[in-house]
Amino acid sequence: MLLGRLISLGPLATIAHAVTADSSCRCYPGESCWPSAQQWNAFNETIGGKLIPTVPLGSVCHYDSFTPYNAQECAQLTSVWDYPITHYTTTSSPMAAWFQNFTCDPYLAPSDSCTLGPFQPYAVNVTNAQDVQETLHFTQKHNIRLVIRNTGHDYYGKSTAPGAVALWTHNMKQTEYLDYNSSAYAGPALRIGAGIQGFEAMEAANSYGKAIVTGNCASVGIAGGYSQGGGHGPLASWYGLGVDQVLEWEVVTVSGDVLTVSPTQTPDLFWALTGGGGGTYAIVLSLTVKLHPEVSTAAASLTFEAPDKKEIFWEAVKTFVTDIMPLTDVGAVAIWEVAEYLFELSPITLPGGTRQKLQKQLEPTLSLLKKNNISYSYTIKQFSTYYASYEEMNPGVNITEYQIGGRLIPRSVLESNPASFISTLQSISQEGGVISGVSLNVSQNQAAVTSVNPAWRNAAISVVLGTAFNYTSRTADLNNQKLITDKLVPQLEALSPGGGAYLNEADFNQPDWQYVFYGKNYARLETIKSKYDPDGVLYGLTSVGSDKWVENNDGQLCRKLQN
């Protein structure tokens, strides 16, 4: 809690500075290298009182040294635990529950563990470049691990870390409309701060009568892993992936330099930032992206369930995923899910298209359901703008309480052997996996200079698999995670040997992740990483260069020994 310009160090104040530091590891609380209370307070002075000690979100549910146990507040917290806003307004709470490591778990008994454990001890409420520079200076001086956090929307625990300081960019909410002019693009653009989320970007674009590419989940930040790692969404087939929108980045390098990065200014860093993974090469303050004309948009949603007609159910799924390919070729994106024998399309969006055209391509699926007396819920509408379509047809998305794996399914699989794809989905479903698909075509409208995984450009579907997360049993979670890695994802890989996965939505235990997530670009990305961050200041699980590091059992980050 901030006390003027001094901070209360809470539990960390009682840690003895007696352990000898290992120079190959980042300094860790309890080691002799860890800064004293006076040093933390002096650092806090340099950044204007923006240092925030971590209080784990679930501490109200436990007897701990953070906050008093409060049964009523705990009940309220658990009632909203799966809402993104519950987590993205904090400096530390991860949305991927695995990385909370069962400490301060609101679903466990009050007497169960609640310690800093996997959380960073401190965050800096970043509002400008100087805050980043001062934090870089302090953490590098004391060899402290650094993480970058905006909303906490990630499946790899990259935005929280034991013994770290987080650059919390969430409050960098500025936007600026631009008439942009460069050799690559001339037209309307929007400069957005690192803390801007999808719903804020869309509201800003709409105020100018324009459309902007964002994710399906409106609370995802735009400047972080979304635009840096790929970024799909309802406009991806029409205007391209998130990376295809980027015109320039404003960044602070780990050496403290403030740079404007574009295809003509520091082009190698631009290339790496634009598709090579979030939080890896520099700290982003803002980015500038294209704005697009608004267009009339058709959209539809569909739900059906047929546990007693399993063969017809999967035939309907096959009909749907194959029959909409002509729509994705002309700009549509479909977001769908299969769980047991329940199918949900929520929604399919056709920018620039008509209700009649959308209806025509969905009719074979609907006719099959009618013919076999399978009841369904169906809505189809025409909207004057994409923004109006998004507001009405895209339901709010809660956090993903699943352990996940993923794969980009090439068009060739659906064109030559759709039965094998459906058979694979059926097998995965029978083994307890939930299947989420984003059907799209991003081979068009691609920017000339990006490092995004080339597998995107011939993909028909981005498939994400999930197994349930159990908040009270680590053993169950380990088994479900092993199921993802050892059995479910390999079935998709068998369909697409030599293919890839979306680096933001995949299994963090993925073997050969360097190629699967980054494709042929990995070697060049690693060279650029070494150039701009030779000491590995910016680390994230499965990020470029992360294979040179290992996390110990207590979460301390150490360099791997060289053979």
Half-sphere exposure at residue 517, Cβ-oriented, CA atoms within 13 angstroms: 26
Say if residues 235 and 244 touch (Cβ distance below 8 Å).
no
Question: Which DSSP helix (H) or strand (E) runs through 187?
Answer: strand 186-193
Q: Please tell me the predicted confidence (pLDDT) of residue 22.
A: 67
DSSP letters of 353-410?
--HHHHHHHHHHHHHHHHHTT--EEEEEEEESSHHHHHHHHS-------EEEEEEEEE
Say if residues 196 and 222 touch (Cβ distance below 8 Å).
yes
Q: What are phi and psi of 86, to 5 degrees?
A: -60, -35
Mean of pLDDT values over 166-177: 98
| pTM as predicted | 0.95
Q: Which is nearest to 247 in space by CA: 235, 265, 226, 231? A: 265
Q: Please tell me the predicted confidence (pLDDT) of residue 10.
A: 44
Q: What are phi and psi of 255, to 5 degrees?
A: -85, -5
Helices 386-393 & 198-207 angle (0-180, nearest 10): 140
Domains delineated in the chain? 2-164 (no CATH), 175-293 (3.30.465.10), 297-518 (3.40.462.20), 521-559 (no CATH)
The predicted-structure confidence for 225-279, as pLDDT tens digits, reads as follows: 999 999 999 999 999 999 999 999 999 999 999 999 999 999 999 999 999 999 9
32 pLDDT above the threshold of 80? yes
The predicted-structure confidence for 50-98, as pLDDT tens digits, reads as follows: 999 999 999 999 999 999 999 999 999 999 999 999 999 999 999 999 9
> Looking at 3-7, 295-299, 453-457, 529-533, which range is the least confident one?
3-7
Characterize 382-403 residue by residue with b for buried, 16 or more Cβ atoms within 10 angstroms of its Cβ, and e for exposed.
bbebbbbbbeebbeebebbebb
| Torsion angle, alpha carbons of 362, 368, 373, 374, to 10 | -60
Q: Which is nearest to 543 in space by CA: 508, 501, 500? A: 508
The predicted-structure confidence for 306-322, as pLDDT tens digits, reads as follows: 999 999 999 999 999 99
The predicted-structure confidence for 231-244, as pLDDT tens digits, reads as follows: 999 999 999 999 99
What stretches of 46-106 adopt beta strand conformation (E)? 51-53
